[in-house]
Amino acid sequence: MTEQSVRLWGARFRTSPSPELTALSRSESSYFRLVPYDLTSSLSHARELVRAGILTEAEAETVFAAIKGIGADYAAGKIEPTPDDEDIHTFLERVLGERIGVLGGKLRAGRSRNDQAANDLKLYLRDMARGIGSDILLLQQALVGQAEAHVATLTSGFTHLQPAQPISFAHQLLAHAQTFARDLDRLRDWDKRAARSPLGAAAMAGSGIALHPELSAHELGYEAPCENSIDAVGSRDHVAEFLFVTAMFGVHLSRLAEELFLWSSRQFRWIEMDDSYATGSSIMPQKKNCDIAELTRGRASRLIGSLTTMLVALKGLPFAYNRDLAEDKHAAFDTIDALTLVVPAMAGLVRTMYVNVDVMRRQSVDGFTLATEVADWLAKTGVPFSEAHEITGALVRYCEDKNIGLEDLGDDDLAAVDARLLPSIKSSLSPQAAVEARKGYGGTAPDRVREQIARLKTVLESQEEWLSSYSGPVAALKG
């Protein structure tokens, strides 16, 4: 085939593209991961061309067989793009033409690279949403598994990174699990809006040949075609929203990573990492580093950057297809590649970590975390909380002077600060009592934590059902 016949455009030009234009215009190698989605869409488009009378049934069968053969050969590494292939569409049309001759050129009728490109990425993102969602589910399950084992494990909760109040360690773990549950629900919600097919929009005005995009839409697993052909090819808010959801998830991952650093430090000693999920130092033999969490925290910055890239690329575009939109793939692929690596590693780290229960219990009262119990006890006896707060502050100062904890106070110590501090208050001055007292819905009391686990498991079951209910359209290539 000649160079001219490899390109999808060029007859109206008197000269060939310059080397500089060719280099700039050619798709990045990572973009060819969309080949299976483009081929699957071509199967659906071929059926549309039969309905339009462009292809006969016999011709369509030849096209179907060739497309499936190309898919199998590409997956097996038997064919690959050449430097002359500008993009996926050029590559696949070239190979199709090599295999079935001029019949392959008929497939281009009624569609454009504009609606193909939008459709390929949307199908890919819908698939990847399930892959990322499955990894999020594994991370949630790891957190829930640890939480079930540590409902009765007491530790200190923090605000401003200062000891605040005793809590169940399970409650802290579930706080992270709840954010991840919302992240996965955001993916589900995003998918509802993404379930509109751009096929049939052609370049931007719609197709004069592919007149039944609703049929192609259902064949590809969409709910319906896009309502407006310009919107179909010119919008990428579904990409930006996907990147927001994943960036938000990345931020939540980074917050968990930050706590894992602290918990595994010698200063905290709350957890110990399994050797298989930790690294060492090339110079300091004693080191055991939480590199998974560090790499995860670093990747989160890239997820935020990808979202920013997409938003900035969109903000000044006239509303139809513009080549700037090609940035959608770079941003999406970098995000997906990052999450595909870090989320399973984080799930493994959480699942295998060892919790130092005794260390946590000893630290649960450090920093006068029982002070709120004193103020609450006084309030329950009728002391205005403003006064109770002042009395408790004075009691903490007394303990600092004596170098004792609130749990160590005797009757005389209490009376020395305020006569209203009766000996009966001491029944409230233990981490167990403090945790048990937080028995409102969503609180850290063990019974409430167990109920939270049960409710969260129901959410995870629903999420797992959603993940397994979508097989994706690419399976059609193997049929």
Active-site residue list: 160, 281
| Ramachandran region, residue 392 (left: φ > 0; alpha: ψ -120 to 50; beta: rest) | alpha
What sign does the dihedral 269-274-275-281 (CA atoms) show?
Answer: negative
What sign does the dihedral 260-266-268-272 (CA atoms) show?
Answer: positive
Nearest-CA neighbor of 321 among 194, 224, 232, 243?
A: 232
Q: Are 237 and 196 in contact (CB under 8 A)?
A: no
Single-letter amino acid, residue 248: M
Phi and psi at residue 156, to the nearest 5°: -100, 130
CA distance linking residue 407 with residue 24, whole number of Å: 70
Task: Report how many helices (DSSP H) and strands (DSSP E) the chain contains, helices first.
Answer: 18, 6
Q: Are 437 and 373 in contact (CB under 8 A)?
A: yes
What sign does the dihedral 265-266-270-273 (CA atoms) show?
Answer: positive
CA distance linking residue 168 with residue 432, whole number of Å: 9
Single-letter amino acid, residue 450: R
Nearest-CA neighbor of 447 among 432, 463, 461, 436?
A: 436
| Ramachandran region, residue 23 (left: φ > 0; alpha: ψ -120 to 50; beta: rest) | alpha
Query: Three-state DSSP class for 9?
Result: coil
DSSP string, 282-328: SS-TT--B-HHHHHHHHHHHHHHHHHHHHHHHHHT--SS--GGGGHH
SS3 annotation, 94-108? HHHHHHHHHHHHHHH
